[in-house]
Structure formats: C-alpha cells, structure tokens
A and B are shown apart, each in its own frame.
Chain A
Amino acid sequence: MKVTGAQAIIKCLEEQGVEVIFGFPGGAVIDIYDELMKSESIEHVLVRHEQAAVHAADAYGRVKGEVGVALVTSGPGATNTVTGIASAYMDSIPLVVFTGQVPTALIGNDAFQEVDIVGITRPCTKHNYLVKDPNELVPTIREAFYIARTGRPGPVLIDVPKDVAAARINFPKPKPIKMQTYRPTYEPHPGQVEKACKAILKAKRPVIYAGGGVIASNANEALTELAFKLNIPVTMTLMGLGAFPGTDRLSMGMLGMHGTYYANMAVGECDLLIAVGARFDDRVTGRIDAFAPHARIIHIDIDPTSISKNVSVDIPMVADCNHALTAMNRWFDRHTDFDREAECVKHEPWLDRIREWKAKHPLGYVDEGDIIKPQYVIQKLDELTGGDAIITTEVGQNQMWAAQFYHFNKPRAFMTSGGLGVMGYGFPAAIGAQMAARDRTVIDIAGDGSIQMNIQELATARNYKCPVKIAILNNGYLGMVRQWQELFYDKRYSHTTLEGTPDFVILAQAYGAVGLRATKKSEVEPVIKEALAIDNVVMMDFVVSPEEGVYPMVPAGKATTDMLLV
C-alpha cells in the first residue's frame, strides 16, 4: 500500500496509541498537519509557543505513563523546542518530537527556516534522526518510540524534510524492534540482589533514597512493600515525590538543599543508603565527601552511567527499579531464616531518632498576623484538594515550597522541571496534565516571575477547555535568586525586583479566564475554594510576604547536615 510520508507519520502515531499531540504548524510541516486533520483518533493541541508544546507533551506523558508527542516546524519552530527537550532529557521523560525540515535538496544551503536541529539537540536527546530516505521514515518512527520509552526513558527527535513528508512510500507492517546496539538491562543480577538484601539485614540505620526512576518504572508499590516489610524510613528526591506516600510515618519527605532537616540528618547518620532510581544530583548531595559518610551504598539504576558517577557505590545493581525491588522483596519472602518482626523492631531506635529530629525541626514558617505566607497557601491547597490534585510547578521558591508543603501520596501527581530547572515549565505542563487527566484538579504553583515566561498559554488552556488553576505566589521578586542575594551577597538585590508585572486578575480576564486575588491570610481559603469550584481557567494572585525564604537551606558546597533553619 502506497502512502505519503505525512500519512505514514499519522498512521505510525495511531499505531503507537497516541491520542493527543501538542504542536504548532509551519510551512515545513503543512503536509503532516493536512493529514492530521483527517485523523479521527488523534487530538492536536495548538499551543502559542513551541517550548510549551514540549513541556505539555512532557507532562501529558508523565501523567499517562506514556510517550508524549510534539510536532513543530523547521528553523525557529525547532529551536524553540530545545529548552523543553533538554528538560525532558535531564528528567528522563519519554518524548518523541517531530520537527519539520527544509527539503533534502536544500539541506546545508542556508535555506529559509533551515537549522541543523539534529546537531543542536544531539547533546540533549537520548537519540535523534534526520530522515533523508523516505523509505526509512516508518522504521525510524517505530524505533524512536521504542528508544524513548525503554531503558532510561528520554526524548527522541525526528527531523522530517518537507519532501520526505510528501514522498510516496510503502507502509511496512510492524516488526519486533531488534537493535544491534541498544539493549537495556532490566533484570537485576541475582548475586547483587542477594548482596543488597544481606546488607539491608546487617544495617541498623538504613535509609531508602528514592528518585524519579521509581516513578518512571512504576516501582512505587514494590518500594512501599520493601519499606513496610522491614520498617525502613524513606526520603525522596524532588523527582521522586509521590514514589512513597508523603503522609506515611516512614516518609521523611525530600532531602537535599531544601530538603527536610530530618531527611538530611538521617542520611548524614545512616549506615546503609538504598538509592533507587536516583542519580545523586549535586542539589541532593551537597559536599560529596560529607554525603552519607557512614553509609554503605546500594544503588539501583537502569542507567550504568549513573552508577558511581558522583558517589562511590558499594553494591551497584543495573536494572529496572521495579524488577530490582520486586526481586529484593521476593528474596526477603523466600528467606525465612531471619525474623522479620525482630528486623522491624531493630529499626525502631533509629526511627525514634528520626522522630526526635522531626519534633525538633519540623517543616515550618513564622506566621505574621494577616500577612500571607507562601507556605500557608500550599498547605491550604493541600488541605482543600485533599492532597489529590496534580501539581505542576515553575522553578524557584514556588517549586521548593510546593515540594515541601504539599503531601504527595501517589506517583505521577507532581510535575516539575527537576534537572534543568525551567522557569515557564509549570503552566504548559499543567495543560498537558489536564489533557491527560480530564477529571482531575490540576494546579500550577507559580512565581510572579516564572508565570510570565509562558503566560501566553492562557489562550491554549482556554481554547481546549482545560480548567487549570494557577496559584501565583506573588512576592514581587525573582524570589530564589533574591534569597541567595540576601544570604550571600549582602542583600544587594541586583535585578531581582520585578517591575512592570501585569495585573494578573485583569490579564486572566483578557484571556476569558477568571482572576482572583488574595492580599490577606483570611482571604486565602475563600479564594482557593472559589477557584476550585469554577469550571474555567483560574489565575489566583496571592500577594505574599515579599522576603520569605525557603528553609531549611544547605548553602552550595556545604554538607547536607549543615543547614540554615527557619
């Protein structure tokens, strides 16, 4: 059967089960868009900026546990995706991004809207392709989806020249993908499983340190089973929030630069650290030589390059987190030569110590009359949504407060740009998340600075009837940089004061959304309640205490136990 390249692309997307794609048309992809219009099963979301298309696809994929898809044109359309692609790469998010390209005969001739997007995105994609032979188009798309979703997931870019999209080709039947060069390891080595389990039985002060890999591999249940089985406290990275129930007694919340006092102290004093799907980011470890100094380290990760990259590991396990944790749970179930009850009791003094730390320095802030504290807003959002909303964030103080004060009990409910730290991620991500979960409440927790980086997507949210709620913690500053300037630059607030910020209430109205404002603490709850009751995009402008800081804080380059507290 002969089809055009553009028809083949749509057929491939349908074959992969893609239901929603995010994009922006242009000359180089007109053929693909023409075919897209005929598709009955694929909905296209027209964004207002290509960066937003990728962030939205990223969050859509995260919520669904599938590959997100974006489609943009050549040149500026393609370059506008780079931030979104780099963010997905850092956070190991499966994505396939289609970019249009000038016709093959013009490639390399500096043609109008030509750019070497394959060269530009080489360092920030898991893999990328320029399809020059129309007959390679279908196998390439199938391979791209396979690469994006398997192993350590990541973004894959396919650059499609205009004449390839127009060419007539055969549409081959799908075959199992066999690659000579790419074979991820899923199953853990049984010897390493045994070593890890024996190390756990020997430990008196173990800590589980769970990262985004747990969520990516749907290992949250296996992780919870392991923690409960042996009474082991759990701390999570920013990307790992939701991997373990945040309200559970064994949860210590997030660790690292803005982690909880008790999580950081526990890692500082533990004798065994069980790292699962986490990569020892510098925001987690602080000073490397002072990180978990008394601990043997087990590290489970599907990506061998993550093992012993930053921190030397005693028991490495290259495997899918779910497979590895399931194997460990089975090992403990099979080996009945130890007393599980006694093992749990053995950890109680350690848990008592953690409880003491929790009581001494819980997460908190100083209340000041009717002034709105940003942490209070998050607490109220948590309370009034029953902790059941999908939360996206921008980057900075808003992100850290959301991570600290919203309790995530389930995975795939917290979308944030963890690795790259993209201001402007949260709002398009909220749209993507809402497209994936139409019946859920989706809230973007934003700063007054970062919301302005992709604020044009109010039109998209309205257009597709995504009743996303935006909670702006409006402090008049680029807050996180201001906090650093306050602490380490003698309060020289160089260019962190935001002048010319729009009136968010009127701005929301201009887009046909609803704008609400709270300037006093007593107004926070009514505003949130009203917002949650409205079936429309709502922008909540919370005018918060301007110089509030995020605490605890580990100054850069210090040990994680060396924290500045409230």
Chain B
Amino acid sequence: MKHTISVLLENKPGVLSRVTGLFSGRGFNIESLCVAATLEPSISCLTLVTEGDNSIVEQITKQLHKLIDVIKVVDISETDFVEREMVIIRVKAESNTRAEVLRVIDIFRGKVVDVSPKSYAVEITGPASKIQAVLDILKPIGIQEVVRTGTIAMARARKN
C-alpha cells in the first residue's frame, strides 16, 4: 500500500542526505520526494511517498523520527488529506493535433506554458492519479518530454 509521509526537519546541509540514506541503507524505496523550506526558514517540510505493508511503514516512520534533525513525522495517508503534483509535458502539437491537445489540456484544467511550431509545453497540477490520466491521454498524440515534481500533501483541517 502507498503511504504519504510528511516530515518536518531542520533546514541544514546534509539533512536530506540523512533521510535518503536511511531509505537506501535499509532497502526501503522512495517513490517520490519533495522538500522545501516552510514559513520558518530554519525548518523544511518534506513529503515522501513510499510503498510497503504496515510493519515496513512503521519502521520507516520510527527510523525517520530517530534522526536527530527530524522534528515531526506524520503518515498523513492514515487521515484525510489533499495531495498535489505538478507536471510539465512537452507534447507534439502540429497542425492536425494542435486543437486536440488544447481541448485535452482544457479538460484537465492545464495551461500552455511554451509554444513552438511543432509542440506545446503544458503545465498541469493535481493528484498523482490525475497526472497519470493526462499522460495516458496525451501519449498517443506524442509526448516528447515529461518533468514531474513529485507529490506534496497536507492533512485536511478538522471540519468541526
């Protein structure tokens, strides 16, 4: 099962390497990793997607928490949460397919960020499933390049 883990950690050199080293050293796989500073510049927030059964994820969260520079670890997939990922896709767009590409992008609420005579670069955000869907639709038209950010996620606030 996929788990999305949110980690607050000290924004210092080498800290990310401690996190990734922990995963490689213990044979855990990272599917996606996103990290940037929070409102407090000395603290970073890292969103990590990994796969494993409950015992593996329990070990991952405990081991992460054991790192001296880690402040907080939450497996947010255990709660209701919002997740987003951004992708930039360079897709073939010649005279016969330009309109279709625009239509698809519109359906997925994306936007064109770069244009050339033979291609569009389009930007789309959404959960990983939406990104996968748009890639599947655009693939037959001709995808030339894809860059994905990886997932960021946040637990939803309580409604009461």
A122 in contact with B21 given A304-B62, A305-B59, A305-B63 (CB within 8 Å)? yes
> Would A180 and B17 count as touching, CB distance under 8 A?
no
Chain B interface category by residue count: 20 to 34
Distance in angstroms between the alpha carbons of A130 and B14 in the assembled complex: 10
B55 at the interface (CB under 8 A from A): yes
Any A CB within 8 A of the CB of B70: yes
Q: Which listed residue, A119, A123, A181, touches B25 by the CB 8 Å rule?
A: A123
Residues 8-20 of B, flagged 1 when their CB comes within 8 A of A and 0 if not, give: 0110011001100
Shortest CB–CB separation between residue A182 and chain B, in angstroms?
A: 5
Q: A126 an interface residue at 8 Å Cβ cutoff?
A: yes
State which residues 14-37 of B face A: CB under 8 Å: 14, 17-18, 21-22, 25
Residues on the A chain within 8 Å of B21, using CB: 122-123
List, in ascending order, chain A residues with CB within 8 A of B55's CB. Answer: 308
Q: Which residue of A lies closest to B10 (CB)?
A: A181
Could you say which residues of chain A place their CB within 8 Å of the CB of B71? 180-181
What is the chain A residue whose CB lies nearest that of B63? Answer: A305
* Closest Cβ–Cβ distance, residue B152 to chain A (whole Å): 22
CB interface residues, A 264-318, toward B, < 8 Å? 303-305, 308-309
Quick one: closest A residue to B62, CB to CB? A305
Whether B69 lies near A181 (C-beta < 8 A) is yes
- Chain B hits for A82, CB < 8 A: none
- State whether the Cβ of A197 lies closer than 8 Å to any Cβ in chain B: no
- A130–B18 alpha-carbon span in the complex (Å): 14
The chain A residue with its CB closest to the CB of B66 is A305
In residues 39-92 of chain B, which contact A (Cβ within 8 Å)?
55, 58-59, 62-63, 65-66, 68-71
Interface residue from B14, B17, B22, B66 paired with A303 (Cβ < 8 Å): B66
Task: Say yes or no for A118: interface residue by CB 8 A criterion.
Answer: yes
Whether the pair A127, B65 counts as a contact (CB closer than 8 A) is no
- Min CB distance, B149 to chain A, in Å? 26
CB–CB B68/A147 < 8 A: yes
Cα–Cα, bound, A179→B70 (Å): 11
CB < 8 Å neighbour of A181 from B22, B59, B63, B68: B68
With a 10 A CB-CB cut-off, give which of A122, A126, A303, A305 has the most chain B CB atoms: A305
Residues of A within 8 A of B68 (CB): 126-127, 147, 179, 181-182
A179 to B10, CA, bound (A): 11
Name the residue of chain A whose CB is nearest to the CB of B58: A308
**Interface-central residue, B25, B58, B66, by most chain A CB under 10 Å:** B66
Which residues, 76 to 134 on A, are CB-close (under 8 Å) to B?
Answer: 118-119, 122-123, 126-127, 130
Beyond the given A123-B21, A181-B71, could you list 16 further A-B residue pairs with CB under 8 A, ordered by the A residue number?
A118-B14, A122-B17, A122-B21, A123-B25, A126-B68, A130-B14, A179-B68, A180-B10, A180-B71, A181-B9, A181-B68, A304-B62, A304-B66, A305-B63, A305-B66, A308-B55
9 contacts between A and B (CB under 8 A): A122-B14, A123-B25, A147-B68, A179-B68, A180-B10, A182-B68, A303-B66, A308-B55, A308-B58
